[in-house]
Amino acid sequence: MTTPKRGLNTRTWIVGALILVAGTLGFAGALSLVSSMQQISTDPQPTLLTNTAEVIVQPVGRVVDDRFAVSYDDSPREIVITYAGATYIQPFLENIDIAPGDTVVIASPDGVQRYTYDSASAGQWAYPIDGDTAVVTLTSSGGDHAGHTGVLISRVGQGFSATEFAQSLCGSNDLADVACSASSFPIEYGLRQPVARLFYTNGGGQYVCTTWRVTPGNFMLTNQHCIPNQAVLNTAIVRFNFQSAGCGAGSIEPYVEVRGGSLIYVNATYDVALYSLRESDFPLVQQFGYLELDTSAPSANETIFIPQHPAGLPKMFGLNSTSDGGRCRVIVPSTAGYAANSDLAYTCDTRGGSSGSPVIALDTLRVVGLHHLGAGRPDGSQCGPSPYYNQAVRIDQIWPLLEPYLPQPFVPQSTATPTPTETLTLTPSATFTPTLTFTPSNTPTPTFTPTVTHTPTTTPNVSRASCWSMADLNSIPTRGC
């Protein structure tokens, strides 16, 4: 194994005042201070300086302007929304005018996914319900609801089929469920948890990218072409622990879904977006850990791996590259993206939806790149050989931009081998087996089917053992768990 690279040896905080705030108020207070001095780039979208790679935006659904309503006068106070062949249904809650103590429940027909909303949820997208049917129910606490109108849904997101997903594979498909690496690559497997699926709406389309926690505080990283502004972030739903229960298994582990918070920094030239999660949601995801940044320049031939959500599917690893004859590695350590020498290149497989994934160096277990481009030949074929590679923005290039907002690039921890511990008991939002083989009709027709009041099953509490740690800054990391 090669000698580990070293990032910054000096721990850098924003300013002395921020240290005091962070110590007094914790990272939430520090984030408030950072948010008050946001630097949001208003530069026009730059032009790629390369013709061998391109942004692969992954649409997974569309928005249709169909209206649905449930009122107190309805009997039952429920509607069923169905779009034949859709892979998910996501209502937009235009207005919720309900009596105190009453709620709106949106659930899957079997009750496995079940979300409860109150009046404060008006004006936002509901959490997606997987499959082609969602049941919307107005529940009453029995109090006086005179003068209240109920719930209005003004548009609906509906998911495409899996056959419409883009890809940027280098030779054969080497992507595999993260569970396939649990025993063979335990260190890499231990670093999967800070990585999450990012689902968002932009205009009339719905898309997926990959995102991940950076530093112990409430900070998330992804690409600017995924989250270009606060309006898009307001639609974002981040799904942690979304992965198969076993290697090639059809079942999914319990996951946790949270909402986007504030956009802290965005830069189109370096295709980076730094944001927070909704403050009330952040405690739910701290159990999943965070990734550290490597601020030194990447090296040719160093081994890398990429945890990602290709096509928005359960989490997978890019570990091996058959086109390169073994483990994924850095092919070109410095190449052009939107700026000269801004990127590194590799043949590790990705797909649409992998944008924003961390490219992690095996020798340091720190992030050396932020994946953002898929190889693009003029004839539309996939990547490889030279010079058609997938690319990531180099962390050493974007660190100076992020430094004013992040406490430090990484946090040194004990040299002792960490032991997995129970950290937090959560009630996951849903457990389900995704159905990604539907082909939606060209003109889906909503079906209003009143049914008896649906009583979904109670979602069980799930306790997650989750940890990973780094060895001393000057040593090889010992293990992940």
Q: Is there a single domain that holds both residue 173 and residue 218? A: yes
Q: Is there a single domain that holds both residue 146 and residue 267? A: no
Cα–Cα distance measured from residue 105 to residue 74, given in angstroms and rounded to the nearest whole number:
15
Token pair listed for 43? 């530069």
The CATH number of the domain holding residue 100 is: 2.60.120
Instruction: State the average pLDDT over residues 438-442.
Output: 34
| pTM to 2 decimal places | 0.76
- Residue-level pLDDT at 477: 31
- Residue-level pLDDT at 348: 81
- Residue-level pLDDT at 385: 58
Q: Is there a single domain that holds both residue 52 and residue 182? A: yes
In terms of Cα–Cα distance, which of 5, 13, 40, 47 is closest to 342? Answer: 47
Bond preceding residue 407 cis, omega within 30 of 0? no
Task: List the single range of 68-82, 265-279, 349-363, 390-404 with lowest mean pLDDT.
Answer: 349-363
Could you tell me if residue 422 is inside a domain? Answer: no
Residues 6+ apart with CB under 8 A from 207: 57, 58, 59, 60, 199, 200, 201, 226
- The residue whose two tokens read 């879904």 is 257
- Identify residue 410 by its one-letter amino acid code: F
Q: Is there a single domain that holds both residue 274 and residue 388? A: yes
Residue 450 in this model has a pLDDT that exceeds 50 = no
Token pair listed for 364? 């340091």
Range of the domain at 447: 62-162+431-460
Residue 353 in this model has a pLDDT that exceeds 60 = yes
Q: Assess contact for 13 and 408: CB atoms under 8 A.
A: yes
Band (pLDDT 50/70/90 cuts) for residue 167 is low
- Residue-level pLDDT at 181: 85
- Residue-level pLDDT at 447: 35
Tell me the per-residue pLDDT of 232-267, one tens digit each, with 9 for 90 and over.
999 999 999 999 999 987 788 999 999 999 999 999
Could you tell me if residue 375 is inside a domain? Answer: yes
Q: Is there a single domain that holds both residue 276 and residue 176? A: yes
Instruction: State the average pLDDT over residues 98-106.
Output: 96
Could you tell me if residue 266 is inside a domain? Answer: yes
Residue 449 in this model has a pLDDT that exceeds 60 = no
Q: Is there a single domain that holds both residue 48 and residue 142? A: no
Residue 406 in this model has a pLDDT that exceeds 50 = yes
Cα–Cα distance measured from residue 425 to residue 358, given in angstroms and rounded to the nearest whole number:
27
Q: Assess contact for 365 and 191: CB atoms under 8 A.
A: yes
Q: Is there a single domain that holds both residue 52 and residue 67? A: no
Residue 295 gets the label, from left (phi > 0), alpha (psi -120 to 50) or beta, of alpha
- Identify residue 239 by its one-letter amino acid code: R
Task: List the single range of 69-83, 175-189, 452-466 with lowest mean pLDDT.
Answer: 452-466
Residue 130 in this model has a pLDDT that exceeds 90 = yes
Could you tell me if residue 476 is inside a domain? Answer: no
Q: Is there a single domain that holds both residue 135 and residue 154? A: yes
Residues 6+ apart with CB under 8 A from 443: none
Pairing mode, if any, of strands 129-130 and 53-54?
unpaired
Q: Is there a single domain that holds both residue 248 and residue 312? A: yes
Of 166-180, 278-292, 373-387, which one has max mean pLDDT? 278-292
Residue 192 gets the label, from left (phi > 0), alpha (psi -120 to 50) or beta, of alpha
Band (pLDDT 50/70/90 cuts) for residue 58 is confident
Of 97-101, 189-193, 379-383, 447-451, which one has max mean pLDDT? 97-101
Q: Is there a single domain that holds both residue 454 and residue 375? A: no
Instruction: Please count the helices (runs of H) and the strands (runs of E) in the chain.
Output: 5, 32
Residue 473 in this model has a pLDDT that exceeds 50 = no
Could you tell me if residue 112 is inside a domain? Answer: yes
Give the DSSP H or E segment for 20: helix 16-35
Tell me the per-residue pLDDT of 9-33, one tens digit each, with 9 for 90 and over.
322 222 233 323 333 333 333 333 3
Bond preceding residue 44 cis, omega within 30 of 0? no
Cα–Cα distance measured from residue 439 to residue 84, given in angstroms and rounded to the nearest whole number:
9
Number of domains in the chain: 2
Burial of 365 (0-12, 13-18, 19+ CB in 10 A): buried
Q: Is there a single domain that holds both residue 261 and residue 370? A: yes
**Secondary structure (3-state) at 106:** strand
Which tops the pLDDT comparison, 457 or 193?
A: 193
Instruction: State the average pLDDT over residues 59-68.
Output: 95
Q: Is there a single domain that holds both residue 34 and residue 69? A: no
Half-sphere exposure of 65 (CA within 13 A, CB side): 2
